Amino acid sequence: MTIVRDFYESLFQNEELKHFFEDFKEEKALEHHLATLVDFWDNTLFYSGSYKKNAMKPHIMLHDQNPLKNIHFKHWLALLTKAIDKNFKGENAETMKNRALSIATVMKIKFGIE
């Protein structure tokens, strides 16, 4: 939870990204969303089976409402990398950063972002 909490604190302050995360400003909504993200990353890193949702669906809806651009992905990756590096070192930290880059790349391809 530490990484995603630090990451979201940075997102809320980032001028390029904060408007995408307004729905999570309320504490209860944020806690629910962070728990979902913990499940997502737990499953992504450790194949725990804890995440059962379609991760692309909300991002497709978001992109349809407010198109994502390359600059958004650059900021997202930089802030996530910073949160990971602040809290952890080692193989799993590097795997998380690599998977985040892969996820961003797939999303950009899906959305036709160069």
Q: Percentage of the chain with pLDDT > 90? A: 97
Contact predicate 73/113, CB 8 Å = yes
What does the pLDDT look like over 45-100, one tens digit per residue?
Answer: 999 999 999 999 999 999 999 999 999 999 999 999 999 999 999 999 999 999 99
Give the domain CATH number at 74.
1.10.490.10
CA atoms of 63 and 113, how far apart (whole Å): 11
pLDDT value at 21 more than 90 = yes
Contacts 24+ apart (CB under 8 A), 8-12: 8/34, 10/79, 10/82, 10/83, 11/76, 11/79
Q: What is the pTM of this model?
A: 0.93
pLDDT reported for residue 106: 96
Where in the sequence is the domain holding 66, given as residue range(s)? 2-111
> Cα dihedral sign for 104, 9, 66, 45?
positive
Counted domains in the chain: 1
